[in-house]
Amino acid sequence: MNQDVNGKLACTECGTVYLDFPTKLDSDTLILCRSCGKQLGRWGELEADFIAQGGQDGVFEMHDGQIIRKE
């Protein structure tokens, strides 16, 4: 069973991990929750949280902005 990532990547409003990425992305880009529109933070902080949870080790899949932990 897949598990969602946690930490800053999970929306505190609706609980999903479903990020809305704009076409142009840098560390200061504001990232919104694709489900409810809540501001999640700047990409630099969110990317650091993603990496800390194993994001660069191939333990996640991302489909249309949704990040899921692989088994």
pLDDT, average across residues 40-62: 76
pLDDT, average across residues 36-44: 92
Element (H, E) at 64: none
Rounded Cα distance between 59 and 22, Å, is 23
| pLDDT at res. 39 | 94
Q: Show me where the domains of the chain are located.
A: 3-69
Cβ atoms of 9 and 68 within 8 Å: the answer is no
The tokens of 42 are what? 């700047």
| pLDDT at res. 51 | 74
| pLDDT at res. 42 | 93
Considering the chain, what is the average pLDDT of its residues? 77
pLDDT, average across residues 23-50: 89
The pTM for the full model equals 0.70
